[in-house]
Structure 1
């Protein structure tokens, strides 16, 4: 499951993005809560973002995405989606805030966009998101446990190897294109992130902060190298990598099945050959037995004929003596 969010402003632009049907197979407004325009997403987000003018902040909205893994999204009921939103609110501190929920469906996969107003009307300040990443991880883990979804790895067991490899390739290449082209051979993809500007997605579909995997390199250096490169969004890159992994797994399973079928065919052929050899041996034994029986019968007939000839000879000799 992917569950991430960040502070942002410009509610009008966000509404345009959320209602854009060109990039999605289906867009559905799920819920608007607490605004004066419960049926108009654009006006509701504008209303929610304008409260930032009551403070020094220019980011009055908190935008999050909840994206279950392939297949798991289809098992989610509307009650499950609302429960996921409640879990997010409990962990991030947005319970009771104005919110808007929009479903997007793309390539047969459903995910939910959630937007909250950041301004706390009771306290007159913006809600803090200082520990947003940790809160997001807690929310995701709770959702995965409660909905019995596949668990997302918390720690990367391959971190030392990844860090050494990516740092080495970074030092060996001079441009972002060369860097991305080289690491693509190992299944890595670079994307623009929501938590950090540059993320690296591994072949399993897990994403990590690229800068943290480049030893001795700071964000400014990475930004300079990638300044002319248009990167895919993190969620898009993860989706593409996971689809590729699924296709590879399906091909591998098909190949394994083909191999099993070939083994079955070879086994059956071996059995048929063994049975044929056994039948041939049995046939040889039967023929040999028949030949032996025929030879014995012929010998008996010859013996009988010889005895008859001898009796006839003795009979003629006796007649001559008389």
Structure 2
């Protein structure tokens, strides 16, 4: 189970993010402990108000718990893991909120604690929490028999195509898989040993090297989108300069965009757009199926919760009726029969709660199995699109590399001869 955490403020923004239904297929506020409010915004507002009596700005500790994609983790397992983490990080008995999310067939949880100890009006120290969480994460992979990510076994072997949220969003705006983007640029870096060979490798993939602000290196794609080279390579700027030099002779971003604009003909742009439109058409059909499935699944869960609520209320009334009142109730207390009935009721209530929990988990697992079939289709579509765009970008790269803007007749002839139009 991957555990990612951060200390933060901005409780209201976090509450909105955690309860977003447009970005998740299913959202459930599972628990609010230690708060007077019955909703997430109110709970985090309480935490913020208490923090005003301290100097703490990051009054929340936010944790995400993400099991492997195919794992079936029960609510109890999530709760036990959260309890273990509380003990390791010194957050036991602190007010907390637990939210479950499901997106693209994957289920994960978020737990947010208030760091403020109301008795001492001090913030809980979160020293070395990343190291402690990594230790817990390794233990969970071993205990459940999950395949452990290489980066978790050895930090030196972490996946080089991991990306930040900003990198993901930037790549998605351009209609590409961010993993492919990083892989492509890192492959160009491995194939080169100086600036000239690196620029050639980049242009083979449809990228251009340029000089960014503050003497940094950036890469532009054929649409003029700018990417930080050190970030894409997961290297320090000093390491990049060690191979490429100071970059003083490189064109600026604006100059490079002008070059790309001169070489990109309407025909080339049309081929790229056609590929994206075909992907969008097919993706829209799958998205429609996803929306219909999500609506049906939400209704099924709501109906199940309604039935369980009715059952719980009926059984609670039945258990309450077993407890005698008046003189008979007094006699039962004297003879000890009252405690026996009460204990029997408590055990029965626990059995009902367990049965309801198991029913909810069975429904969730069945729906996730159904959702996995649709997700497989979408992954296949993404893979085919990535392969298609890769081939197209390589063609665009070769075209841009050899195009000379001064000779427009050769430009048009080469555009026809490359045969870039996608097969349908």
TM-score range, shorter chain: 0.5 to 0.7
Show the counterpart of 1:128: 125
Alpha-carbon distance, 1:22 to partner: 0.6
SS at match of 2:65: strand
Give the TM-score of the pair, scaled to structure 1.
0.52
Alpha-carbon distance, 1:125 to partner: 1.5
**Partners in 1 of 2:49 and 2:112 — Cα distance?**
14
Alpha-carbon distance, 1:120 to partner: 2.2
Alpha-carbon distance, 1:71 to partner: 0.7
Is the 8 Å Cα contact of residues 12 and 45 (structure 1) preserved in structure 2? yes
Q: After TM superposition, list the pairs within 5 Å mapping 1:21-32 onto structure 2.
A: 21-32=21-32
Instruction: Work out whether 1:147 is the aligned partner of 2:171.
Output: no
Give per-residue Cα distances to partners, 1:278-313, cap 9 Å, x unaligned: xxxxxxxxxxxxxxxxxxxxxxxxxxxxxxxxxxxx
Show the counterpart of 2:234: 210
Call closer, same or farther: CA 1:128–1:168 in 2, change over 3 Å. farther
Structure 2: segments with no counterpart, 5+ residues: 161-185, 200-208, 242-252, 254-375, 385-424
Show the counterpart of 1:3: 3
Structure 1: segments with no counterpart, 5+ residues: 183-188, 191-197, 201-208, 218-224, 226-242, 252-322
Show the counterpart of 2:289: none
Instruction: Work out whether 1:119 is the aligned partner of 2:143.
Output: no
Q: After TM superposition, list the pairs within 5 Å mapping 1:39-118 onto structure 2.
A: 39-72=38-71, 75-118=72-115
Give per-residue Cα distances to partners, 1:233-262, cap 9 Å, x unaligned: xxxxxxxxxx99x859x99xxxxxxxxxxx
Larger Rg: 1 or 2? 1
Show the counterpart of 1:311: none
Alpha-carbon distance, 1:147 to partner: 2.7
Is the 8 Å Cα contact of residues 25 and 103 (structure 2) preserved in structure 1? yes
C-alpha RMSD of matched pairs (Å): 4.3
**Partners in 1 of 2:29 and 2:194 — Cα distance?**
45
Alpha-carbon distance, 1:168 to partner: 7.3
Q: How many residues align?
A: 204
Is the 8 Å Cα contact of residues 94 and 116 (structure 1) preserved in structure 2? yes
Alpha-carbon distance, 1:64 to partner: 1.0
Is the 8 Å Cα contact of residues 25 and 106 (structure 1) preserved in structure 2? yes
Is the 8 Å Cα contact of residues 163 and 214 (structure 1) preserved in structure 2? no
In terms of fraction of residues, the more helix-rich structure is 2
Give per-residue Cα distances to partners, 1:53-98, cap 9 Å, x unaligned: 12212111011100111111xx111111101111221222212111
More off after superposition, 126-135 vs 110-119: 126-135
SS at match of 2:101: strand
Call closer, same or farther: CA 1:23–1:148 in 2, change over 3 Å. same
